[in-house]
Structure 1
Amino acid sequence: MSASYISLTTEEAISKYKNNYDGYIKNELMKVEQYREAYKKIKGSLADQIVERAIWYMEHGYTVYGHGYNSYHSHGVVDCSGFTKLVYGDFGFELTGVAKKYDNIGTRVEGVYTKIVDGYWSLEGLENLRPGDILTWWKQRPNGTFYIDHVGIYMGQLNGNPAVICTARGTPTAIGIITGFKRWYGLHFYNAQRILPEGSWTPGKVIPGHEDRGPVIPERYVLPPQKPIVMPNTQNSQEQ
């Protein structure tokens, strides 16, 4: 476990956290409340637990952007695929930390695509997506071929807009919630993958092998916790 690249020093990470926190309250935390209201019917399901764990890492994980094998475990450092792997790993899913391999994970969700609407990109086929799906975005190589360069966890529709929790810019930590597909996220959308089994959206249903193992706490932080860390109420602890 180590970080091969860390984007910020501790001083820079603390400054970034403080400078972006007011916007985070108005944007990300507002979207969290929208999610909880819109998807209260699946509260406690495996899919909901995964989305809530992603939210927990956004709020209490004190992530800094960077790369490395299990670099969150060692330094609190994540990139997009490392974050996705981290969240699903808490529930017994063994995913890759390499973004370009995500088109081979799970099954493709058909009928999800982007098109131009009134001069802007729009993500279509939202009725085919479910919270907990994985969305991917492409980048082009110099030889003209394409590969997956960015991944994120689909939260659902918030006020009619598709919402994804993933690594993002302009947020206190490395994680934020994006809902805008009009430009880059629409142009570069690649596909949607589903790894969650049937029953994952049913509250109270236990999927064997995918019980909550609890969140990872890093051995050390580049961004030291700026507030007390509140541990999540895991499904397992709620049943005890």
Structure 2
Amino acid sequence: MKNKTKLNNRIIAFLLALTMVLGIGMFFAPAAQAASSSVISSYNQDEKPKVDAYRASFNGSLAQTMVGRAIWYMEYGFMVYGHSKYATTGYIDCSNFVSLVYKDFGYNITSASRKYDQVGTRVSGVYAKKISGSSRYTLVGVNKLKPGDIFTFWAKDSNGKKYISHVALYMGVINGKPCIINTCKGNPTAIGIVSSFSYWYGSNLYQVRRVLPSSAYAAGGKIKDKGPVIPAKYQMKPTKRIILPKNLRVGF
């Protein structure tokens, strides 16, 4: 037993030395820290009332069910922001999030944000207008929007050319305000709800795209649901029992 231990120690020492000589290293990403009490308090004051209101008006249509799935991921997905596949790593970014929600219901759309100007069709008449005499913006054409529409936002590359850098899923008008759900900062996980287009979400709004057919907005239609993706591992330790949509009253 002692000889075996000595041999193992020698092997470990050799591998460490080889690593140093060759400059090879291994990196283990630390688990994400649990949300602070202030972040949780903010979520309970901002997101939770919107989720409660959405549940109260839920009609069971495909479009609203998809938005409900996005909410489920926000509350039970324990997602951490990162540019890799959620299914294998537990990380998520904006375009992977929107793509993930759509794929749960059989719609295969790109996970590359730059390509979202090719997804579905453009919803005309929706744009952000700068308020006269102010630095703020307001969203125009809210009445033309439908749940499940995809909001796209622009940035500029080194040559000054615009490209789509961020995407989000439209939820609907909740408590009197148009809302989107997307990856953003300041929440317990990587997902949060935005209801203001006054600043960046207004000034950098690019286009709104629609993928769903008209039948998706009618209650009582047949829904093909593959179920949510459960990652192979979580970067954030779940803080509560994960309840699948089928075991929740309205699925989220």
Which TM-score applies when normalising by structure 1? 0.87
Q: Root-mean-square deviation (CA), in Å?
A: 1.9
Matched, 1:36 2:60: no
Deviations 1:121-155 (A, max 9, x none): 01100011001100010001121210000000000
Is the contact between residue 112 and residue 125 of structure 1 (CA under 8 Å) also seen in structure 2?
Answer: yes
Give the match for residue 6 of structure 2: none
Separation of aligned partners in 1, 2:170 and 2:105: 16
Q: Which has the higher mean CA deviation after the structures are superposed, 163-172 or 24-33? A: 24-33
Q: 1:48 aligns with which of 64, 78, 102?
A: 64
1:18 and 1:72, CA in 2 relative to 1: closer, same or farther beyond 3 A?
A: farther
Alpha carbons of structure 1 residues 234 and 153: separation in structure 2 relative to 1, 3 Å? farther
Indicate yes or no: 2:247 matched with 1:228.
no
What SS does structure 2 have at the residue aligned with 1:16?
coil
User: What is the letter of the counterpart of residue 225 of structure 1?
Assistant: P
Residue equivalent to 1:73: 87
Q: Pick one of 83, 89, 100 that aligns with 2:114.
A: 100
The structure that has the greater radius of gyration is: 2
Q: Is the 8 A contact 2:34 2:236 kept in 1?
A: no
Q: Tell me how far apart the structure 2 counterparts of residues 158 and 198 of structure 1 sit (CA, whole Å).
A: 21
Question: Structure 1, residues 60-83: CA drift from partner, whole Å, max 9, x if none?
Answer: 000000012xx2101211000010
Partner of 1:173: 189
1:7-156 to structure 2, matched below 5 A, reads 9-10=30-31, 13-16=32-35, 19-37=38-56, 39-40=57-58, 43-68=59-84, 71-118=85-132, 119=134, 120-156=136-172
Say if 1:150 and 1:234 are closer, same or farther in 2 by CA, change over 3 A: farther
TM-aligned CA deviation for residue 180 of structure 1 = 1.1
Question: Is there any run of 5+ residues in structure 1 with no aligned partner, and where?
Answer: 1-7
Q: Which letter does structure 2 place at the counterpart of 1:24?
A: Y
In the alignment, the residues of structure 2 paired with residue 93 and residue 181 of structure 1 have an alpha-carbon distance, to the nearest angstrom, of: 28
Aligned residues of 1:80 and 1:166 also touching (Cα < 8 A): yes
Give 1:18 deviation, angstroms: 5.3
Contact 2:70-2:181 within 8 A present in 1 as well: yes
2:180 and 2:89 map into 1 onto residues whose CA distance is: 24
Alignment pair present for 1:213 and 2:226? yes
Is the contact made by 1:114 and 1:186 (CA closer than 8 Å) also made in structure 2? Answer: yes
Distance, in Å, in 1 between the alignment partners of 2:177 and 2:30 is 35
Identity %: 45
Give, as a single letter, the amino acid of the residue that structure 1 aligns with 2:121. Answer: T
Give the TM-score, by structure 2 length. 0.83
CA distance in structure 2 between the partners assigned to 1:231 and 1:195 by the alignment: 26
Query: What is the aligned residue count?
Result: 220
Unaligned runs of 5+ in 2: 1-28
